[in-house]
Amino acid sequence: MKKQHRWGMTIALAVTAFAAIAAAFAADFEQKKLNPPDLHKHPVYSQVVTVSGEKTLIFVAGQVDRGLEYQMRSDSCRHADWRGQYIGTMENVERALTAGGATWNDVVFIRKFVTDMAAYLAMTGSEESKLPQYFKEWAAPPSTLIQVVALSEPCQLLEIDVVAVVPAA
């Protein structure tokens, strides 16, 4: 019985400590969820979340090559090729960054999910692809590149999400 009581007390203290930390952060930060009008409105999640305090953190949901006409589970990619999907996806990431008050130069982390690593690396490493440069003022931020079995729609070849930081407004 005493052991159960100690665990109960430990859990109660942990929950109380977590609540105190959460309350402290809630006092210092404001969270805002955005769905930019030039990106499709997803029925389940926000496309952009900003967390403001001394700095504003901007979390951009994973973006793919889709337009405003997107219907969930409709397999509606704008482009069938890697280059077209990469550019369309990066344009959507840029729209989301703009809605959150950021630019590519404010991005501190980028994560790319691809369905075929070899095809992605061939596209990004070839001179013929001539991909637009998005990070103009400084080198690209730290990133993670992950190969996945599939994305949410069969036509999607890649998905990209980012985190950015800007000065508080």
Q: Domain total for the chain?
A: 1
In a domain, 57, yes or no: yes
For 11, 115, 152, the CA distances from 39, given in Å and listed in that order, are 43, 23, 17
| pLDDT band with cut points at 50, 70 and 90 for residue 26 | low
Q: Identify which of 67, 95, 42 has the alpha carbon closest to the alpha carbon of residue 155.
A: 67
In a domain, 5, yes or no: no
- The enclosing H or E element of 40 equals none
In a domain, 18, yes or no: no
Give pLDDT tens digits for 98-157: 999 999 989 988 999 999 999 999 988 877 666 778 877 666 788 889 999 999 888 999
In a domain, 155, yes or no: yes
Quickly list H helices, the chain: 2-28, 82-99, 117-125
Domain CATH number, residue 106 = 3.30.1330.40
CA trace torsion 104, 99, 154, 68 (10° rounding): -130
Most confident among 33-42, 54-63, 70-79 (mean pLDDT) = 54-63
In a domain, 3, yes or no: no
Q: What average pLDDT score do residues 14-24 get?
A: 51
Kindly state the DSSP code that residue 105 receives in the 8-state scheme: G
In a domain, 8, yes or no: no
| pLDDT band with cut points at 50, 70 and 90 for residue 41 | confident
In a domain, 11, yes or no: no
Q: What domain range is 162 assigned to?
A: 30-167
**Average pLDDT value over all residues in the chain:** 79
In a domain, 7, yes or no: no
| pTM for this entry | 0.72
